[in-house]
């Protein structure tokens, strides 16, 4: 989308009960980044986001599919097969919609659920060890209700926009080149750093070098977009 997506408002209870969700697609790849990198996973890409990040290259706006919970779960179960036990809720921004009913249904099947979020919104969920929230901060503050449930942080690193004091982003995610202090990790959750993909070989090499330097200097965990490297979704 490269920052061109419309800003979507949160759709939560009581007006939205979670019985139907706006969904971009359901697909079965390898998880390419973060704590579950390399794991086979069924991705449920939910439509719409509340933020316009200038570097976002994901399509989460072209679908008009709004399945019922039963229809969506049938699609997920068909994609899971017999061996996959991980479902990733991504977007867009998953917490933009009332995902409580969906998460309950997935956990009832003894699945592990990972939610990829920008950390600005919150929906109360059945929090448990099988539910993991990976937060990639994009704004100056995180949702206070969400913070205690964050399992890991993931920061996108761009060369020339790294804070020397902590090796984390020092630039806006909405306006390229604008200095901005992005929310920092809280608590003991592990921190992953990932080079920004600018779809330019030279800039990507610089971003990767900056990311490696940050990981080595501050003890963060390096994660790459493995799915792009090996040519899978």
186-200: pLDDT as tens digits: 999 999 999 999 999
- pLDDT for residue 2: 63
Q: What is the mean pLDDT of the segment spanning 24-50?
A: 96
Residue 184 has pLDDT above 90, yes or no: yes
The tens digit of pLDDT for each residue in 80-103 reads: 988 899 999 999 999 999 999 999
- pLDDT for residue 230: 84
Query: How many Cα atoms are found within 13 Å in the side-chain-facing hemisphere of 13?
Result: 11
The answer to whether residues 189 and 150 touch, using CB atoms and an 8 Å cutoff, is: yes
Q: What is the mean pLDDT of the segment spanning 119-139?
A: 98
Q: How confident is the model at residue 26 (pLDDT cuts 50, 70, 90)?
A: very high
Closest Cα to residue 57, out of 204, 168, 187, 167? Answer: 204
Supply the mean pLDDT for the chain.
Answer: 95
- How far apart (Å, rounded) are the C-alpha atoms in residues 221 and 190? 8
Cα 65 to Cα 59, 129, 228: the distances in Å are: 14, 31, 26
Q: Which residues, in sequence order, are CB contacts of 204 under 8 Å at separation 6+?
A: 195, 196, 197, 198
Give the global pTM.
0.95
Stated as kind and residue range, the H or E segment containing 151 is strand 150-157
- How far apart (Å, rounded) are the C-alpha atoms in residues 25 and 75? 10
More confident residue, 229 or 144: 144
Count of H helices and E strands in the chain? 4, 8
Structure-token match 């996973």, residue found: 41
Structure-token match 């950390």, residue found: 119
- How far apart (Å, rounded) are the C-alpha atoms in residues 194 and 180? 18
Domain ranges of the chain: 23-230
Q: Specify the long-range contacts of residues 126-132, CB closer than 8 Å, at least 24 apart.
A: 126/100, 131/103, 131/107, 132/35, 132/36
- How far apart (Å, rounded) are the C-alpha atoms in residues 131 and 110? 11
Share of the chain above pLDDT 90, in %: 88
- How far apart (Å, rounded) are the C-alpha atoms in residues 50 and 183? 17
The answer to whether residues 59 and 65 touch, using CB atoms and an 8 Å cutoff, is: no
Q: What is the mean pLDDT of the segment spanning 100-109?
A: 98
Highest CATH level, class, for 23-230: alpha beta
- How far apart (Å, rounded) are the C-alpha atoms in residues 148 and 223? 23
- pLDDT for residue 202: 97
């Amino acid at each position: 989308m490269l920052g061109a997506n419309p800003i979507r408002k949160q759709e939560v209870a009581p007006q939205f009960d979670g019985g139907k969700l706006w969904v971009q697609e359901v697909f079965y790849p390898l998880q390419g980044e973060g704590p579950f990198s390399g794991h086979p996973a069924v991705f449920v890409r939910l439509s719409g986001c509340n933020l316009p990040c200038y570097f976002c290259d994901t399509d989460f706006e072209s679908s008009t599919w709004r399945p019922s919970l039963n229809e969506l779960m049938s699609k997920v179960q068909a994609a899971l097969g017999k061996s996959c036990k991980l479902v990733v809720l991504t977007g867009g921004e998953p917490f933009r919609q009332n995902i409580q009913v969906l998460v309950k249904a997935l956990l009832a099947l003894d699945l592990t659920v990972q939610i990829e979020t920008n950390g600005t919104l919150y929906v109360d969920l059945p929090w448990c060890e099988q539910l993991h929230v990976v937060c990639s901060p994009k704004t100056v503050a995180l949702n206070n209700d969400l913070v205690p449930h964050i399992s890991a942080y993931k920061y996108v690193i761009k060369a020339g926009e790294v804070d020397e004091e902590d090796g984390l982003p020092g630039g806006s995610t909405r306006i390229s080149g604008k200095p901005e202090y992005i929310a920092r990790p809280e608590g003991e959750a592990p921190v992953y750093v990932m080079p920004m993909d600018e779809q330019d070989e030279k800039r990507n090499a610089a971003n990767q070098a900056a990311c490696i330097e940050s990981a080595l200097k501050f003890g963060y965990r390096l994660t790459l977009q493995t799915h792009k490297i090996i040519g899978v979704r």
